[in-house]
Structures are given as structure tokens and as C-alpha cells.
Structure 1
Amino acid sequence: MTTTDHANALTAGALFQRLRDGVARTRGDLVADTGLGRAAVAARVDALLAAGLLVPAGAASSTGGRPPQVVRFDAHAGATLALDFGARHATIGLADLSGEPIATVSRELDIAEGPETCLRLALDQARELLRDSRAELFGVGVGVPGPVEHSTGRPVNPPIMPGWDGFDIPGAVREELDGEVQVDNDVNILAIGEHALRGGAVDDLVYVKVATGIGAGIISGGLLQRGALGSAGDLGHIHVRLPESPLVAPGDERDLEAVASGTAVAAALRERGTPAHSNADVVRLIQAGDADAITLTREAGRVLGEALAIVVNLMNPSMIVIGGSLGRVADHLIAGAREVVYRRSIPLATQHLRIEPSRGGVTAGVRGAATMALQAALSPAAVDRRLAAQG
């Protein structure tokens, strides 16, 4: 590539990616980092300053003469919205351009009421957040509890979302709000959020959500892996060797989700005479020290470990994160899972493996959805289009 070709390829949008880490740099730093000439860097930095994506950040130390000026990414130049739908609730959040949540609101809803009703509730709340902030909207990220064809943003045969199959979520959101719209399933959103929360320090991570069902989001080489059509990570529907336990009958051939999810633990508790009808009941019982709930959750962790041992041997992640509603009492799940994973995985794959509870808390889905939206809204091409539109 000639020098001219290199300069043309490294547009202002591409240069901007070097600054999204928030580290302040001088124009001289960017010249050294990119190989562009001083005039080319100055022109690109000036355009980004004019667009408000960069701001002056004082002056660097001088080695003689006039101190060089420093610029940095302005994460407060705009905002992104996140709509994180669950089966019985939605969390609507506003985040800055680094993906950091600014404000969140949770609302009860029934995802089975269909897309028009659920999206109307969420979008009305989103507009209130946006109006209060007075920030320019850059993008919208949406997470839903079912399979999604990411390229179109349409759910595909979602089992607990009647009326959502094939629905054009991005189109419906764009009718109400400007900006890029990205849609994915809730577990992928959580994996993106967990990766972002850890500052990108863990580039090979598997996020496992244990709730009504079981699913996984896979980060490999720092990137979310969706697979050919978006169904990667469907951990709950694989069949594994089921150890003998109170959760497993002889000859049991059910899949992982039917044996080790929060719903399965609640059913096993009911068989023992304990009134448990939901994940929340299981969590409540564990927090109250109920011995049966603790024992059965640890057994669920052992069954989960059978599946995770396969994942570890195949993918060699450096971290497995356990989240979801049962993630609130993840210690018991993790204890059971560790027993099996370290016994059934090859030593090289577990040499530095960590199995930890999620750090994301209630804003994990918001952070993930916002980060996904920003990957599109602040991509080199999107930034270049924004600069061209602003002249």
C-alpha cells in the first residue's frame, strides 16, 4: 500500500477508534501511532473536534517550545438507549458513548403480550429518559429472551415470545427513534456487557445464564461469536452425561435446561414438599438457608459442569461467568460446576481457568445492549458518514 493509499484508508472514523479507549493523546502521538503525516492527522482531529466526538484535554509536558495540545474522546457527546427485555420485565437504560449506564428504569411486563405492547411500553419510557438527558441519540440496542437473526434483528421461533416470530424490531424502533438499531438475544447481550465491564481484559469468556432456561454467550478473541445464523451458545438444549442425583432419574434423557435450570430446581423442590414455583422462590429459599434448595442448586451446578467441561475442552476459555436469576446465589452453582469441570477437562484447558459469578448486576443487560449499539453507531464507517453529513 502506498503512502497515499494508507492515508485514504485511515479515515477520520478509523483514527477515532484509536481514541475510544479514553486515553488522551497529542497529535504527535497519533502521527507515531498511525504513520500518517502531521497534516493528515491534524485534518482528521479537527473534524472530530468540530463534531464534538473529541474534546481538548489540556497540554502535554513540553520538551522545549510550545507544549503540544492533547485531545481525548468525549463519552458525553451523546447517548445510546438500551432496551433489555426479560420474560416478565424490561429494563430501559440510557448510557453514554462509552457504554456506561447513566440512568435505568425497570418495568414489569409479560413478553407474551406481543411486540407492539411491549415495545410501546419500553419506547415510551426510553423517550422520557432521552428527553430528561437532552442528549443526542447515537444508537439503540435491544435484547430479547429468545433466538434472534442478528443480521435482520428479527426473532426466530422464540419459545416464550408468542407473536414475536419474524417481527421487525429494528423497523418498529426506527419509527419512533433515530439512530442505529441493533438486536440480539439476552445472553449475548449479557456476554458483551460482562466483557466490557472487565475492560476487555478477558478476551476468551463464556457467559452462562441460568434462569428459567440455560443459555451461553461466547466471547472468543475479544469478539462475540454468534455462529452462522445466530444460534451459537444454545447450551441448554444439549444432552450431556447426567450424573446420578436428586435431579436425575435413572435413564433420564432430558436436555440440560430441563434438569439444571431454575425451573427444574423449583420443580424438584415441589416434589419434596417445598412450595417453589419460580426462580425467585429458589433464590429466596437459598438466601434463607433452606438446606434442600442449597443441595439441589449445587446438584444443578454439577449437571451444568458436565456441559461446561465440553465447552472448556472445545473452546479453551480463560473465564466462565455464571449469571442469570440463579446467579444471585451463584456460589452454590459454581461449587458444583467446579467439581465436574476440573475433573473432566484436560489440565491444559483448566490451568488458568476461572469460574466466577457475574459482576454486571441489574445493569448488565443495559451495558451490553448499549455497547452492542455503539459498535455500530461509532464504527469507522458510521463516524465518517456523520462527519460528511455535518460538512
Structure 2
Amino acid sequence: MKMHEGRRGLPSLDGAGAILSLIASQSAASRAELLKASGLSRVTVTQRLAALLAHGLVRETEETLRSGGRPTRILEINPASGFVLVANIGETHIHLAAMDLSPAIFAQATVPFALPAGPEATLEAIASAFQALAAEAGSARGLLFGISLSLPTPVDFKRGRVAGPSVLQGWDDFDIIGWLGARFGVPVFVENDVNLMTVFEQKHRLPAEDDMLFVKVGTGIGSGMIAGGRLFRGAQGAAGDIGHIQFVSNDAPLCRCGKFGCVEARAAGWAIARDLTQRGIPTETARDVIDLVEQRKPEALMLVREAGRIIGEVIADAVSILNPGVIVIGGTLARAGETLLSGIRELVYQRCLPLATRELTITLSSVHEDTALFGAAYLLLDDLYAPAKVHQLLARASSLEQKQRRPKSRG
């Protein structure tokens, strides 16, 4: 049977989305597995896989799968067939990167960031840096798959907009997706940094863990949840905001959100810095707190241990409700190690029923340069390769090839 050909003479990608999605999700890694998972005929699977191989979207590795017959080579996404642009907005700077589809960074940049700048000026700086990174990628890197941003604030994921109260003043309800989408003409994703760090931990370190709680303890406190193997956001994307759970007491401290007694106002990096300063030890940031812990400053050690117990209280409640298999503690204060972790473990095992803690693991996050950046890339790729959307990606890939193939006009 003769295979239908596209305008370039390459096999058409029509209908190949389901095969690409199965390979991207690692649901099938060989021809035999594709045949079984897709439910398609052998001829159809062969044709559609051949098209993906010809277009360079999929490749065969040197590794083989053992089977009852002849060894078969493993199929995987070709990491060089496209790239993504990602950015993480931090306290004082924005870290940006161009990544292949592994994902792995092949170019990166850092630009200064000031909170009063507002959304348009900040996005203009991000867009300029992205354009430079895309130019560095060049045509050899293939198709720009999309853009993904990590923000240090609650995000309405469905709308891609900041949802206050937020440290990003003036960003509430600003159309980030529309602004960047108009500039680059590609899919744009916006997510809270803690959710993206959660995605990274699950994808990179705990791929077999379907139920997990990630808690970031830094300048602020937040958490992300993996439930049934998927990121759990809640109805409006507000799930996991444990930093603003309140403890009622007569001496409840004022939180940055304007309420009294929040976990963050008692145990976050800025709160510990506040308390150290009140004790005559000038401290400004979570990093300053860690420096003092590493110097074995008694006051810092005491306050971080107490912060661990406070955080342990709210995590214990989360364990009783969610029953995760693993709790991962990350963020700047996680560098305090057992000084922080011991208090968390103490309260969790003290307050939770044995059934919830019998096989529970509480551990520190893996050390990585910028987990939110990689989480942003994973989030984008998972969405683009999803069965309901992968055909849109293939249509864009075909369109790009057609444009590149057109002869340049003379004159």
C-alpha cells in the first residue's frame, strides 16, 4: 500500500497524534506495544509511526526491549525536534531558558526583576529575552512548541491569570496568556511555582508515586499535591495554600496577606528573619536565616526547629485528609536539613493515625538549580502531547515544514 505523502514528499502526519501521544507518555515504547495500546491495525501503526520517524518527531534508540522473539529498539520523542521557552520569576530576578524536549537546558539567561515594574514591563523584558534565546536556538532546533511561566503567586490556571492577594502587585487578572500568545503565536502556560516544583519532583525523582505532597518552605510557605498521578489544583487552582491556614491565639502575628496567625507569619523565612531581628540579630531573608543555621547560631537553630513543628502541625492535617505516600520538603529553608525536618516528622507522627503514617516517607527535596523551570517544561509538554491536543501540535509542525520548503522569491 502506498503511503500518502505531504507537500514535502514526506509521509503525511494525518492521524499520527495518537501514536505520538502514546510514545510521549511512555505508555508504549515499541512497535508491539503501540499495536496493543492503540488498538489500530498493524498497517496503520506502521504507516503513522513511519511518518513520525520521517519528520524527526520520534526516534529509535540503541536500547532494545527484550521480548519472546527478536529484540526491538525502544522508541522515544526526539529531543532535538523542537524546543520550549520557560521562565521563573523570582524575588529579584527572572531566570529564563530554552530547553529541548528531554527537557534539558541548551541556552539560558537572567534578567533583573523589581516588584513595582508591573506586568507589561516585566513581560516585555521576558519577551525580549525569549526572542534572543529563540534566535540562539535557530532553525536547527526545530519547532518552538510553546512558552511556560512560573510565578511566585496564586494562579488561576484555567485562565492563566494571577489571582490575588499576591506579591505581584498590579498583576491581578492581567491576560498573560493573551499578551505572550499575541507576541509569539504559540501555546502559553502560566502556573504557580510551587505546583511546578511539585511536577518536577514527581516527574524527575518519584515517577512511580501517584500520591504525593510537596511543601515549599522559603520566603513563603506553599504546597503542591499529586493525586492519582496528576497535579491536583482544586476548583480555581487554589489547592495547597497551606501557608495561610490560621492558628488562633492571643498573640497571633500579622501575615503579609493582611490576616492574623497564618502558618507563614509564624514559620516562613521572612517571619523567622523578623523574629531574629527582634532578638538583636539583623536578618532580612530566608537565605540569611540559612547562613545563620550553617554558622550554628543558637537563636536561628531554635527558631527553625520551632518552624518545623508549626509546619508539621498543618502537614499532619493534610496527611489525615490526603493520605500521601511521600511528603517532600523543598525551598530555601529545606537547606536546614534535619534541623527543620525533625520538627515536621515529630508532629506528623504524633498527630496522625498509624494507618496514614505506616508507609509514609518524609524527605528533603532533591538539590537542583531551578526545579520550577523544569516543572514548567514538563507541564507544557504533557499538555501538548495529551491525546485531545496532540493533533494541534502536528498541524503546527506540518505548517512550519511547508513554510520552510517554499522557494524564496527572487528580486
- TM-score scaled by length of structure 1: 0.87
Residue 31 (structure 1) aligns with: 35
The partner residue of 1:239 within 226, 230, 246 is 246
The partner residue of 1:87 within 75, 91, 102 is 91
Residue 195 (structure 1) aligns with: 202
The Cα of 1:58 is off from its aligned counterpart by: 6.0
The Cα of 1:64 is off from its aligned counterpart by: 12
| Pair 1:337 & 2:356 matched | no
Q: Secondary structure of the equivalent of 1:216?
A: strand
Q: Distance in 1 between matches of 2:290 and 2:66?
A: 58
Q: Secondary structure of the equivalent of 2:88?
A: strand
Residue 20 (structure 2) aligns with: 16
Question: Are the counterparts in 2 of residues 112 and 160 from structure 1 also a CA contact under 8 Å?
Answer: no
Residue 353 (structure 1) aligns with: 360
Relative contact order (alpha carbons < 8 A, sep ≥ 6): 1 or 2 greater? 1
Deviations 1:138-173 (A, max 9, x none): 011111111111111011224211110111111121
Residue 278 (structure 2) aligns with: 271
Q: Secondary structure of the equivalent of 2:316?
A: helix
Taking a change above 3 Å as real, the CA distance of residues 41 and 126 of structure 1, as seen in their structure-2 partners, is same
| Pair 1:73 & 2:77 matched | yes
Q: Quote the RMSD (CA, aligned, Å).
A: 3.0
The Cα of 1:334 is off from its aligned counterpart by: 1.0
Residue 6 (structure 1) aligns with: none
The partner residue of 1:106 within 94, 103, 110 is 110
Deviations 1:316-367 (A, max 9, x none): 1111111122122243221111111111111111111111121152220111
The Cα of 1:307 is off from its aligned counterpart by: 0.3
The partner residue of 1:125 within 118, 126, 129 is 129
**Unpaired stretches in structure 2, ≥5 consecutive residues:** 1-13, 252-258, 400-411
Taking a change above 3 Å as real, the CA distance of residues 267 and 333 of structure 1, as seen in their structure-2 partners, is same
Q: Distance in 2 between matches of 1:64 and 1:171?
A: 52
Deviations 1:296-333 (A, max 9, x none): 10100001000000001110111111112212224322
The Cα of 1:282 is off from its aligned counterpart by: 0.7
The partner residue of 1:177 within 184, 190, 193 is 184
| Pair 1:295 & 2:307 matched | no
Taking a change above 3 Å as real, the CA distance of residues 265 and 36 of structure 1, as seen in their structure-2 partners, is same
Q: Secondary structure of the equivalent of 2:81?
A: coil
| Range with greater deviation from structure 2 (90-99 or 211-220) | 90-99
Residue 378 (structure 2) aligns with: 371
Q: Distance in 2 between matches of 1:281 and 1:62?
A: 53
Question: Are the counterparts in 2 of residues 323 and 330 from structure 1 also a CA contact under 8 Å?
Answer: no
Q: Distance in 2 between matches of 1:70 and 1:270?
A: 58
Taking a change above 3 Å as real, the CA distance of residues 82 and 311 of structure 1, as seen in their structure-2 partners, is same
Deviations 1:203-238 (A, max 9, x none): 211111112221111111111111001111110111
Question: Are the counterparts in 2 of residues 88 and 110 from structure 1 also a CA contact under 8 Å?
Answer: yes
The Cα of 1:11 is off from its aligned counterpart by: 5.0
Taking a change above 3 Å as real, the CA distance of residues 265 and 122 of structure 1, as seen in their structure-2 partners, is same
Identity among equivalent positions (%) equals 37
Question: Are the counterparts in 1 of residues 247 and 261 from structure 2 also a CA contact under 8 Å?
Answer: no
Residue 4 (structure 2) aligns with: none
Residue 116 (structure 1) aligns with: 120
| Pair 1:42 & 2:49 matched | no
Taking a change above 3 Å as real, the CA distance of residues 212 and 34 of structure 1, as seen in their structure-2 partners, is same
- TM-score scaled by length of structure 2: 0.83
Q: Secondary structure of the equivalent of 1:190?
A: helix
Q: Secondary structure of the equivalent of 1:19?
A: helix
